[in-house]
Amino acid sequence: MEGEPPEAADEFGSALSPREREVLGLLIEGASNKEIARALALSVHTVKFHIAAITEKLGARSRVEAVAIAVRCGLMMA
């Protein structure tokens, strides 16, 4: 399977807010919503909101697919 074009990383990267990028980084590390909330001093509800925004912006159907897209297009390193 071929990766996303280089422009995709720029497009996705600019679409995500700095906080969404932090949440995505923790998702890539395998953190649960509760662990992300603790690490970033957020409520679990806010983490869920950020994950929903991330998956929508990346065109993903799940958090796992969002991680795969982010890594495949070079947006974040695994």
Residue where the block lists tokens 């497009």: 11
Position 64 pLDDT exceeds 50: yes
For residue 46, CA distances in Å to 4, 35, 53, 61 come to 29, 13, 11, 19
Burial of 34 (0-12, 13-18, 19+ CB in 10 A): exposed
The two three-digit tokens of residue 42, written as one number: 């957020």
Q: Which residue has the higher pLDDT, 77 or 48?
A: 48
Domains and their CATH numbers in the chain: 6-72 (1.10.10.10)
Dist. CA 68–CA 10, nearest whole Å: 16
pLDDT score recorded for residue 11: 58
Instruction: State the average pLDDT over residues 53-73.
Output: 94
Position 6 pLDDT exceeds 50: no
- Residue 57 corresponds to which amino acid? K
Reported confidence tier of residue 12, pLDDT bands at 50, 70, 90: low
